[in-house]
Structure 1
Amino acid sequence: MEYVVRLTRTLPAAAGVAALLLTAACGSGSGGSSATGLNPPDLKAPAKLGKTEGQVNLVAWAGYVEDGSNDPKVNWVGDFEKQTGCQVHSKVAASSDEMVKLMKTGEYDAVSASGDASLRLIASGDAAPVNTALVPNYKDVFSGLKKGAWNSVKGQMYGIPHGRGANLLMYNTEKVKPAPTSWSAVFDDAAKYKGHVTAYDSPIYIADAALYLRATRPELKIKNPYALDQKQFDASVALLKKQNADIGEYWSDYLKEISAFKSGDSVVGTSWQVIASLTAGEGAKIKAFVPKEGSTGWSDTWMVSAKAKHPNCAYKWLDWIVSPKVNAQVAEYFGEAPANSRACALTSDKNFCDTYHAADEGYWKNIAFWNTPIEQCLDGRTDVRCVPYAKWVQAWTEIKG
């Protein structure tokens, strides 16, 4: 199976976008979610579906909307069009920032948003609440993907979960000994592998440092790695500046990471399961796992635009893309854990879901899924302001020098 991997899962680089979210999310105290402080516009989900409109316009990550044009053997759009009469028009987005901008145009009906984009779309009113009763396959979605901080507010879902993945610690088993059990291998102990440590190239990586400090420096009282007050944020940035001296390469292109581990240029660092599988498949002696502190990760959600011109076809697509057979196809092609619990029985690789821990909810409880840092602390604190994402962007530039 050929994998199509998203080369970047980055949050928006523009400070203005973070400011936009801040404006939408703050000052709503009692009315919003106790977890996020969000108070989205009062939009209503449809009570029932009507006649399909004949087409649907989608914004998606590469590999999510395949019609056979990239690979004749990979096509789950064709059958959808035949069964529903909804012709699919899709645009691939390279980043969450681009997804948000495209959805604001009102030209697209649905989007496959990662956690950072989904929160912004909810806060700004660009994404509508979803009536999950109109998506029959929703009932089979793993419980750990439902009503998350990144796809719901006060128990109201704003989309249909699509898939998920964890950020792993990958290491060369011949050069990194003893086998690591902690993220200390890339932080406090990184000097042991100076010049051969790799890290994900994105401001969101600051959350990885915060997650490590949550476990190793309890006096900082970090609860949520995406909700950092100034002291917590400064400590995370300081750790990453220290790590920078030992970094050989920051990566965003998975092919470069595979090459670096094969050549020995990198021996330890962050990775994804699909990268680990491909790297091992090319003969590199590696292992990848979630360290004892847990990890960060990502979860994607198909969301319907509040301005959708083809909402009925959009709902048909949401149900189709999370149906067992199609969800299995997407998961294998893309390289992620499927959202539908029945998809695992339909993957061509019968060990696929075990490898990706698809049904292991205990595994996912240790994953802090990406979210967008805002001044209204996502951990519920009201006595302090948290550092918004615009500051994360600035700090990342300083960290890398």
Structure 2
Amino acid sequence: MRKRKSVILLFAGLLCAGTTVACGTSGGDSASGSGSGSGGGTFTPPDLPALQKLGEPEGQLNILAWPGYAEDGSNDPNVDWVTPFEKETGCQVNVKPFGTSDEAVNLMKTGQYDVVSASGDASLRLIAAGDVEPVNTDLIPNYADVYDFLKNKSWNSVDGTSYGVPHGWGANVLAYRTDKVKPAPDSWSAVFDEDSPYKGKITAYDSPIYIADAALYLMKHQPDLGIKNPYALDDKQFKAAVDLLKKQRPMVSEYWSDYLKESQAFKNGDAVVGTAWQVTVNLTAGEGAPVSSVLPSEGATGWSDTWMVSAKSERKTCAYKWLNHIVSPEANAAVAEYFGEAPANPKACELTSDAKHCDNYHAGDAEYASRIWYWTTPIEQCVDGRTDVKCTDYGQWTRAWTEIKG
């Protein structure tokens, strides 16, 4: 398995800076109670048209991407899906990697980038600010092959209008040392119960968005709080989640943002249980450590990334050709395996070098995906549909996170 290069995901910072509309949609609680709610906006985005037809390629494309999403062979000569795109289209690619969703949002405001790979806590901000425009999926042939359960969701569409192409997805699973954690855990209680036998050996994700993990746990264990969506917390619900994390703080041995460091903690025994990405589990187990993972009974938070087109782009034919290329079976297989996630195109599963990659990452498993609450920016306008209260926004989450860590 190819390894992702020190991808650090720190989701903290500005919320809808400079916008005059709310940047969230109703999402998460579909009829099945899943976290993969379909699109349907609670705000009205700027009225921007989608491209109606392709023209001649403009010869250049500026890509803003998570590290590992647009590899051209410069990091590893064996990892390159940019060069084939350049040869096929004549669009010469310039890649700017970013380290956080906030960085991506701010860079997109400059108008210097044609496309961006946006996680769910960035995509809605970009839509609300008018920095990205609707996407005409009829101009993207490979879009038809993308798993239906990733299309027209609350993080990549508004009122049925698509704003991008799903790229890859994954869950924040519960990882554990099989030689230390017995019996195998099936609940987040292993990390949140104040009587957990693993206190002092727990690892947790280092980001304000981790508050949603606590809220998800409380949804099931304190139903009287009335939490319906872990990203839509009123003051009482928010306080309960923050208090839970403050109680957890003395039990945590390490907060991680670099998955390679978390892997090391599991290998040397500094951590025996905690939230992780599947790539961390696979990497650690592949290096001989007795580590496994589970999607707990409460479900999990996670991510689903979307390629989006800048409303200011003057190279939209190249942009659309990139969106089509990146979800082609060949490119999507290469990205998913290198980055460590489930691909969006099922045809990619036939092309991964590891024949078990899609099984390991639950690609195509809609039931598994339905148990994930994908990262979404918390905003004052409750994204669970409530209109009688105000919810806490990401600025409040960021300040609370500083208090939690002390």
- Give yes or no for TM over 0.5: yes
State the match for 2:142 in structure 1.
137
SS of residue in 2 equivalent to 1:395: helix
Write out per-residue CA displacement over residues 81-127 of structure 1, whole angstroms, 9 at most, x where no aligned residue: 11101000110111111111111000110000111110100010001
Q: Does 1:23 align with 2:20?
A: yes
Name the CA distance, whole Å, in 2 between partners of 1:176 and 1:310: 53
State the match for 1:39 in structure 2.
44
Q: Does 1:101 align with 2:115?
A: no
Contact 2:39 2:155 in 1 (8 A): no
State the match for 1:7 in structure 2.
7
Change (3 A) 1:287 1:267: same
Equivalent residues in 2 for 1:145-160, closer than 5 Å = 145-160=150-165
Contact 1:21 1:120 in 2 (8 A): no
State the match for 2:127 in structure 1.
122
State the match for 2:313 in structure 1.
308
Contact 1:41 1:124 in 2 (8 A): yes
Change (3 A) 1:22 1:241: farther
Q: Does 1:70 align with 2:75?
A: yes
Q: Does 1:54 align with 2:59?
A: yes
Name the CA distance, whole Å, in 2 between partners of 1:99 and 1:166: 22
Q: Does 1:372 align with 2:364?
A: no
Write out per-residue CA displacement over residues 120-159 of structure 1, whole angstroms, 9 at most, x where no aligned residue: 0001000100000000000011111101111100011101
Deviation at 1:301, TM superposition (A): 0.4
Among 236, 250, 257, the residue aligned to 1:252: 257
Deviation at 1:19, TM superposition (A): 5.2
SS of residue in 1 equivalent to 2:2: coil
SS of residue in 1 equivalent to 2:197: helix
Deviation at 1:255, TM superposition (A): 1.7
Name the CA distance, whole Å, in 2 between partners of 1:217 and 1:239: 11
Task: Supply the RMSD in Å over aligned alpha carbons.
Answer: 1.7
Contact 1:21 1:374 in 2 (8 A): no
Name the CA distance, whole Å, in 2 between partners of 1:9 and 1:141: 25
SS of residue in 2 equivalent to 1:271: strand
State the match for 1:268 in structure 2.
273
Equivalent residues in 2 for 1:342-357, closer than 5 Å = 342-357=347-362
Size of the alignment, in residue pairs? Answer: 395
Name the CA distance, whole Å, in 2 between partners of 1:286 and 1:159: 36
SS of residue in 2 equivalent to 1:12: coil
Contact 2:199 2:251 in 1 (8 A): yes
Deviation at 1:23, TM superposition (A): 3.5
SS of residue in 1 equivalent to 2:332: helix
Task: Give 5+ residue unaligned stretches, structure 1.
Answer: none
Amino acid at match of 2:164: G
State the match for 1:395 in structure 2.
400
State the match for 1:295 in structure 2.
300
Equivalent residues in 2 for 1:232-247, closer than 5 Å = 232-247=237-252
Among 226, 234, 246, the residue aligned to 1:229: 234
Q: Does 1:197 align with 2:202?
A: yes
SS of residue in 2 equivalent to 1:396: helix
Q: Does 1:211 align with 2:228?
A: no
Write out per-residue CA displacement over residues 292-327 of structure 1, whole angstroms, 9 at most, x where no aligned residue: 000000011000000002111000000000001110
Percentage identity across aligned positions?
63
Change (3 A) 1:34 1:253: closer
Amino acid at match of 1:251: W
Contact 2:143 2:327 in 1 (8 A): yes
Name the CA distance, whole Å, in 2 between partners of 1:57 and 1:22: 24
Name the CA distance, whole Å, in 2 between partners of 1:108 and 1:8: 21
SS of residue in 2 equivalent to 1:199: strand
Change (3 A) 1:190 1:153: farther
Contact 2:40 2:157 in 1 (8 A): no
TM-score, normalising length: structure 2 = 0.94
SS of residue in 2 equivalent to 1:117: helix
State the match for 2:34 in structure 1.
none
Name the CA distance, whole Å, in 2 between partners of 1:50 and 1:26: 32
Task: Give 5+ residue unaligned stretches, structure 2.
Answer: 27-37
Deviation at 1:194, TM superposition (A): 1.8
SS of residue in 2 equivalent to 1:20: coil
Amino acid at match of 1:123: A
SS of residue in 2 equivalent to 1:211: helix
Equivalent residues in 2 for 1:172-187, closer than 5 Å = 172-187=177-192
Q: Does 1:282 align with 2:287?
A: yes
Change (3 A) 1:315 1:387: same
TM-score, normalising length: structure 1 = 0.95
Name the CA distance, whole Å, in 1 between partners of 2:89 and 2:344: 22
Amino acid at match of 1:4: R
Amino acid at match of 1:205: Y
